[in-house]
């Protein structure tokens, strides 16, 4: 037997790189299977349901209707109002949380004992379940006995039925409640981004005579874009499918003033048992989130300005 044949016979059947890749694939397989079964499967099934007339009251009458469910949503004044409310709530809440979160992150940037204690206390709202937050603020804003609602009504700053019962202030009040809960998370993500900034660039800018405003605008803000992008995407996705707080405080009222897509979809599915319409609403929610995420990626992706 030749030397080459002996080397081939003694060589392993798989290289180390291929074995390592196969091992990593086997490790990831359970998580991938879980995502496919729990997340992707129902999502695809709901997408298919959106093209059918499917009502649980008359399950035998289920049939294919094409885009009728989507056209019905567009023709429905309540559905269009819920879509508008969802966008207003999302951009309002995320905008307020971004500004306040950045301000808090800048205030807590210095690593000292006071800032560490303040950061720990600041994170308490984010640990509370949104359902509980909604119930607490509903009680606080009650115009008859609420700690906040009674003095506001007494001073004439809210209607006799409170901020949450007025169509002019209910949505803005919900934005404020959401900002109270999730601004700390935004601040935490942005603070992590600030602490990861290279100090040599900041010191060089200071030596070159850049003012604090110039350092923030020309150095800190561009380098903070990756952390800001992560914070905005996470909060945008969560705010767009808001349900808990609105459900326990206003249930979409008064009228359609705080009716969002999630509230509208739940009503269609669990009150009217219209699975086809509810599935169409969920598909619209997913599509809107994907479009907004793509827009954020296009605007805020790191290095965009450098490669322009």
Task: Report yes or no on 208 lying in a domain.
Answer: yes
* One-character DSSP codes across 175-213: HHHHHHHHHHHHHHHHHHHHHTS-HHHHHHHHHTT--HH
**Is there a contact between 143 and 149 (Cβ–Cβ < 8 Å)?**
yes
Task: Report yes or no on 37 lying in a domain.
Answer: no
Task: Report yes or no on 266 lying in a domain.
Answer: yes
Tokens at residue 267, please?
């009503």
Other C-beta atoms closer than 10 Å to the C-beta of 244 total: 15
Task: Report yes or no on 65 lying in a domain.
Answer: no
Task: Report yes or no on 30 lying in a domain.
Answer: no
Distance separating alpha carbons of residues 193 and 105, to the nearest angstrom: 9
Tokens at residue 278, please?
């509810």
Task: Report yes or no on 87 lying in a domain.
Answer: yes
Task: Report yes or no on 50 lying in a domain.
Answer: no
- Looking at residue 125, the DSSP 8-state letter turns out to be G
What length is written for the chain? 308
- What is the reported pLDDT for 306? 47
Q: Could you tell me if residue 76 is left (phi over 0), alpha (psi between -120 and 50 degrees) or otherwise beta?
A: beta
Domain count, the chain: 1
| CATH classification of the domain holding 221 | 1.10.3720.10
Beta-bridge mates of residue 58: 55
Alpha helices in the chain (DSSP H): 3-10, 16-35, 41-49, 68-75, 77-107, 113-122, 130-140, 149-154, 170-195, 199-207, 212-215, 221-223, 225-240, 244-249, 261-266, 275-300, 304-307
Per-residue pLDDT of the chain (308 residues; tens, 9 = 90+): 555 455 455 545 667 788 888 888 888 888 888 878 887 888 888 899 999 999 888 888 888 998 999 999 999 999 999 999 999 999 999 999 999 999 999 998 887 888 888 888 888 888 899 999 999 999 999 999 889 999 988 888 888 888 998 888 999 999 999 999 999 999 999 998 888 888 888 778 878 777 878 888 888 888 888 888 888 888 998 999 899 999 999 998 888 899 999 999 999 998 889 999 999 999 999 999 888 888 877 776 655 544 44
* Residues whose CB falls within 8 Å of the CB of residue 50, separated by 6 or more in sequence, listed in order: 69, 70, 276, 279, 280, 282, 283
**Is there a contact between 260 and 246 (Cβ–Cβ < 8 Å)?**
yes
**Is there a contact between 285 and 265 (Cβ–Cβ < 8 Å)?**
yes
Q: Residue 283 sits in which domain range?
A: 77-307
Distance separating alpha carbons of residues 240 and 67, to the nearest angstrom: 23
Task: Report yes or no on 18 lying in a domain.
Answer: no
Give Cα 305 distance to the centre of its chain: 26
């Amino acid at each position: 037997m030749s030397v080459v044949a002996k080397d081939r016979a003694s060589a392993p059947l798989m290289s180390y790189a291929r074995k390592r890749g196969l091992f990593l694939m086997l490790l990831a397989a359970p998580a991938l299977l879980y995502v496919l079964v729990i997340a992707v499967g129902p999502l695809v099934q709901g997408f298919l349901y959106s093209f059918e007339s499917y009502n649980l009251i008359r399950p035998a009458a289920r049939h294919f209707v094409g885009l009728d469910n989507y056209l019905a949503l567009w023709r429905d004044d309540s559905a269009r109002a819920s879509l508008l409310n969802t966008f207003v709530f999302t951009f309002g809440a995320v905008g307020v949380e971004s500004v306040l979160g950045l301000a808090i992150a800048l205030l807590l940037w210095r690593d000292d004992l006071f800032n560490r204690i303040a950061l720990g206390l600041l994170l308490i709202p984010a640990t509370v379940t949104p359902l509980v937050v909604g119930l607490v603020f509903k009680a606080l804003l009650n115009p008859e006995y609420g700690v906040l609602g009674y003095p506001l009504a007494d001073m004439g700053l809210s209607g006799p039925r409170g901020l949450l019962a007025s169509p002019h202030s209910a949505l803005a009040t919900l934005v404020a409640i959401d900002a109270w809960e999730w601004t700390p998370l935004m601040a935490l993500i942005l603070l992590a981004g600030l602490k990861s900034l290279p100090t040599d660039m900041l010191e060089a800018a200071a030596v070159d005579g850049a003012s604090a405003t110039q350092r923030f605008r020309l150095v800190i803000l561009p380098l903070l874009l990756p952390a800001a992008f992560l914070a905005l995407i996470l909060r945008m996705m969560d705010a767009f499918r808001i349900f808990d707080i609105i459900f326990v405080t206003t249930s979409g009222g008064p009228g359609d003033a705080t009716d969002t897509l999630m509230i509208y979809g739940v009503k269609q599915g669990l009150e009217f048992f219209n699975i086809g319409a509810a599935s169409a609403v969920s598909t619209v929610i997913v599509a809107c989130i994907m479009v907004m995420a793509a827009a954020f990626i296009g605007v805020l992706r790191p290095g965009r300005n450098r490669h322009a």
